[in-house]
Each structure stands twice: as C-alpha cells, then as structure tokens.
C-alpha cells in the first residue's frame, strides 16, 4: 500500500465545477476552461503513487498545479473528482471524502506540513510554535515540552526556544517550521516550496540537513519545488507537471535521460548530469565485453585482462603478463584513500557510483573503472568514452 496515492484527481477552483469537469473530459486546456466556465483548472487527471519512505518531488513552473495537488493530501484544497488515498492507522483513507473527524485525526497524527512563507505564529515563542500541533491535540504542557525540546535539538535550535520567531533569520524560521512538522510525529510530511524563500547557501544547507534527517527518520516526504537542481538532489521520485497535469513521473535519471515530452526535455536541458547519472546508466555492461575463459578483456589489444571467479567477482589483474594492483572505492561517492588510489592500476567501485565520483576516480588511473554490483560481481565498466557520453547524454547512440 502506497503512503499516498492520487487516483485520477481533478481540482477546479470556482463555482462551475460540473461544466469544468465536462471540459476536462474533453481534454480542453486550462485557458479554454477558464474562458468557457470562469473556473480555474487546478489539476486534471492526476494519478501518482508515493511509496512509504520515499521523497517525491512535485516539480513544475508556477501555476503548474504542483502546490494544488500537494494541498489535496490534507484537504487544504478540495478535490472535485477522484480519490486521494492516505495511509492512516494501517488503512487507506480517501481524504477527499472522509468525515471531518477523520480528516482532523489525519491532520493531527498522520500528515503534517511545512510552508513556503514558514506560516509561524509571530506572537508565540519558538517553543510554543513547535508545540502548536501538540497543543491542538490537547497534550499536557510537560509532555509537550519534552517532545518540543527533542525536536528543537534535532534542528539545532535548542538555545533559541524562548525567542519570538521574528527575531530569527529566515533559515532558522524554517527550521522552526520543520521542527513543528516533526513534532506531531506524522508519517507523511508535506513540504510546499519550503526552501524557496531562503538564499541559495542556506537553501543548500537545509537540503543537506533534510536528507540527513531523512536517513534517520524515514518519513514519506512530498516536496514541491520549482527548482530542478533541488528536485534532483532530494527526490527519489520526481513528477513533472505542466498546466495541471503530470507529464512525466520517474527517477531523476529517467527524466534526465528519457524525457517524455519536448516540455520535459526543455526543462532538463541545462541540467547538470554529474550528480544525477550513475554507473548503471553510463557503463558498458559486462555482458558486452570480450571473454577468454575466466578472463575478461578490458582493452582493445587484449593486453589488459581481468580474472574473475565463477560468480563473476574480480580476482586479479593481468597487465601484459605483470600483475596489476586492484583498489576498491566505497559508496555512491566512490570514497577511497588517496595514496591507494594513486598506486592502483585499476579501481573497483559500486555500480551506483555517481558520474561525478567516476570522474574523480578516473583521474587516478588510465584503465577503466570496474563497476561491481552489491554482491561484488562485475556489472560493467566505465571509461573516458562512457563519461563523455554521459555528460553529453548520448547514451543510446
């Protein structure tokens, strides 16, 4: 069961919902619907499943409907048609149709939210802002303070708890917003362009902090952004929207390498692929390499040979009769000791190595980087040619 699922939802702002829905069914555009009915199309035919523990980024220009569908998850926007299923107490609840009490329960316990302009209450201290959701639940002061202290420590604001929010910088205010959202211990976190009001350095820092927190708390995060770099950095899944409709949903690599429409292609054209592409996307697969018995030939002339075991794990390197030194780099960032990298003839790295890390490693060696899967079996290799093609995004040619 997905944590959040949109099933064919339409959202219309305005009185003439019925006619607007009819025009949506005819596939009319937002402008046509506005001219004919005076109602504004918020979203049309949106279906999307967001799995538990995922960061899903809703991406698009302003007015594309990304905030509109985000707000349907806790019914700040009413849905005209379709279902918005939210996992609440182990069952999928249709937020669009549930009772007021259920909705309130979902808002208090299951879904919390972070706002673009922070949405903090200026007459309350930081502590009372963070405890706001708990106070609405009717939780006593002692327990509330304990939880608030915990969340303030989480976002690094312990010493600021008695300040008023207007005494804080923008970045700190949004940390208060985050702490307030975490305080209710909701599984699903809605973030409506939370970092766009902040300057770029602070934004970058808060993105890193959010990723760091997410590794520990594993929430389901639905994140709205108009910034592609932010989307690619944070999102496990990205849904690109245009004119109230989702034009493509998939992983960052998917969208970068296989844009579904000209609109998406235009969108990602100036995107830096270094942090997005991984070994899997660029590598020459092991199956396409020449083999001689238990040896894989790594160069054209057959001077460089890699001996593998029965499972395909690299064992040793043969450089025209001389034994070569193999070194291993760790993780998607390809961490390796500098001296070891310098001495190595060939570097072995995980297959989900980022393209940026591959370039780093490639500086140390003339031979291709050997990419191995999670069981250590050779999956493919990444040489200069693969890196260039990745940078130019000509992977299918």
Partner 1 sequence: MYDWLTEHKIPLGLWLRDFVDLLTTHGQGFFDFVSLVLGALIGGFTDALLWVPPLLLIALFGLAAWLVHRSIGLVVFIVGALLLVTNLGYWSATMETLSLVICATLVCVVVGVPIGIAAAHRPWLYTAIRPILDLMQTIPTFVYLIPTLVLFGLGAVPGLISTVIFSIPAPIRLTHLGISSVPPALYEAGKAFGATKTQLLFKVELPYALPTIMAGITQCIMLSLSMVVIAALVGADGLGKPVVRALNSVNIAMGFEAGLAIVVLAIVLDRVCKRPERRSRKG
Ordered DSSP codes for 265-279: HHHHTT--GGGT-BH
Ordered DSSP codes for 1-12: --SEEEEEEEEE
Angle between the N-to-C axes of helices 384-392 and 355-362, in degrees from 0 to 180, rounded to the nearest 10 = 150
Strand partners, 5: 49, 85
Smallest separation, CB 47 to partner 1 (Å): 24
Interface with partner 1 (CB under 8 A), residue total: 32
When the beta carbons of 137 and 226 are compared against partner 1, the nearer one is 137
| CA dihedral angle for residue 160, residue 166, residue 172, residue 173, rounded to 10 degrees | 120
Smallest separation, CB 109 to partner 1 (Å): 8
Token pair recorded at residue 111: 């879904």
Binding residue for partner 1 (CB under 8 A) from 16, 51, 105, 299?
105
Which 283-322 positions form the footprint of partner 1 (CB under 8 A)? none
When the beta carbons of 109 and 284 are compared against partner 1, the nearer one is 109
Binding residue for partner 1 (CB under 8 A) from 30, 66, 107, 151?
107
CA distance 20 to 391: 44
CA distance 194 to 230: 11
Three-state secondary-structure class, residue 87: strand
Smallest separation, CB 97 to partner 1 (Å): 18
Indicate whether 248 belongs to the interface with partner 1 (CB under 8 A): no
C-alpha distances out from residue 282 to 106, 130, 198, Å: 43, 45, 35
Indicate whether 15 belongs to the interface with partner 1 (CB under 8 A): no
Own/partner pairs, 382-388, CB within 8 angstroms, 24+ separation:
382/279, 382/282, 382/283, 382/284, 382/353, 382/358, 383/284, 386/282, 386/283, 386/284, 387/282, 387/355, 387/358, 387/359, 387/362
Binding residue for partner 1 (CB under 8 A) from 22, 81, 163, 258?
163
Which 332-371 positions form the footprint of partner 1 (CB under 8 A)? none
Q: Which position has the token pair 């009490």? A: 101
CA distance 224 to 201: 19
Binding residue for partner 1 (CB under 8 A) from 90, 99, 162, 375?
162
Smallest separation, CB 122 to partner 1 (Å): 8
Token pair recorded at residue 4: 């959040």
When the beta carbons of 102 and 272 are compared against partner 1, the nearer one is 102
Which 108-137 positions form the footprint of partner 1 (CB under 8 A)? 108, 111-113, 115-121, 123-125, 132-133, 135-137
CA distance 235 to 216: 16
When the beta carbons of 61 and 121 are compared against partner 1, the nearer one is 121
When the beta carbons of 68 and 248 are compared against partner 1, the nearer one is 68
Indicate whether 164 belongs to the interface with partner 1 (CB under 8 A): yes
Smallest separation, CB 74 to partner 1 (Å): 6
When the beta carbons of 74 and 214 are compared against partner 1, the nearer one is 74
| Contact string (CB under 8 A) for partner 1, positions 52-91, x = contact | ----------------------x-x---------------
Eight-class DSSP state of 275:
G
C-alpha distances out from residue 182 to 187, 201, 209, Å: 9, 23, 14
Binding residue for partner 1 (CB under 8 A) from 57, 59, 85, 190?
190
When the beta carbons of 168 and 381 are compared against partner 1, the nearer one is 168
When the beta carbons of 107 and 362 are compared against partner 1, the nearer one is 107
Token pair recorded at residue 163: 């300040």
Indicate whether 184 belongs to the interface with partner 1 (CB under 8 A): yes
Site residues, partner 1 (CB under 8 A) = 74, 76, 104-108, 111-113, 115-121, 123-125, 132-133, 135-137, 162-164, 167, 180, 184, 190
């Amino acid at each position: 069961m997905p944590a959040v699922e949109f099933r064919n939802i339409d959202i219309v702002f305005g009185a003439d919902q019925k006619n607007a829905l009819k025009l949506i069914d005819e596939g009319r555009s937002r402008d046509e619907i506005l001219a004919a009915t005076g109602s504004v199309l918020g979203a049309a035919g949106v279906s999307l499943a967001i799995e538990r523990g995922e960061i899903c980024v809703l991406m698009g220009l302003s007015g594309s409907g990304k905030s509109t569908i985000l707000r349907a998850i806790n019914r700040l926007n009413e849905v005209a048609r379709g279902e918005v299923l939210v996992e609440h107490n182990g069952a999928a609840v249709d937020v669009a149709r549930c009772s007021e009490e259920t909705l309130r329960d979902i808002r208090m316990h299951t879904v919390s939210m972070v706002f673009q302009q922070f949405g903090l209450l200026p007459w309350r201290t930081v502590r009372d802002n963070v405890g706001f959701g708990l106070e609405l639940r009717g939780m006593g002061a002692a327990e509330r303070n304990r939880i608030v202290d915990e969340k303030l420590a989480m976002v690094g604001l312990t010493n600021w708890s008695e300040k008023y929010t207007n005494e804080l910088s923008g970045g700190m205010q949004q940390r208060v917003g985050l702490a307030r959202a975490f305080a209710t211990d909701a599984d699903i976190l809605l973030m409506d362009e939370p970092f766009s009001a902040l300057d770029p350095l602070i934004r970058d820092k808060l993105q890193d902090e959010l990723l760091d927190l997410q590794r520990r708390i594993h929430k389901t995060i639905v994140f709205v952004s108009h910034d592609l770099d932010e989307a690619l950095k944070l999102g496990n899944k990205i849904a690109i929207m245009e004119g109230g409709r989702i034009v493509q949903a998939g992983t960052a690599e998917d969208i970068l390498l296989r844009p579904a429409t000209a609109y998406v292609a235009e969108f990602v054209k100036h995107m830096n692929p270094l942090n997005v592409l991984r070994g899997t996307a660029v590598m020459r697969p092991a199956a396409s390499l020449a083999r001689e018995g238990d040896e894989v030939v790594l160069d054209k002339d057959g001077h460089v040979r890699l001996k593998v075991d029965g499972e395909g794990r690299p064992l040793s390197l043969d450089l025209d009769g001389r034994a070569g030194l193999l070194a291993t780099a760790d993780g998607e960032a390809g961490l390796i000791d500098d001296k070891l990298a310098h001495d190595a003839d060939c570097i072995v790295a995980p297959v989900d190595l980022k393209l940026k890390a591959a370039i780093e490693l490639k500086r140390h060696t003339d031979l291709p980087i050997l990419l191995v899967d999670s069981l250590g079996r050779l999956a493919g290799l990444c040489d200069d040619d693969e890196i260039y093609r990745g940078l130019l995004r000509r992977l299918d040619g």
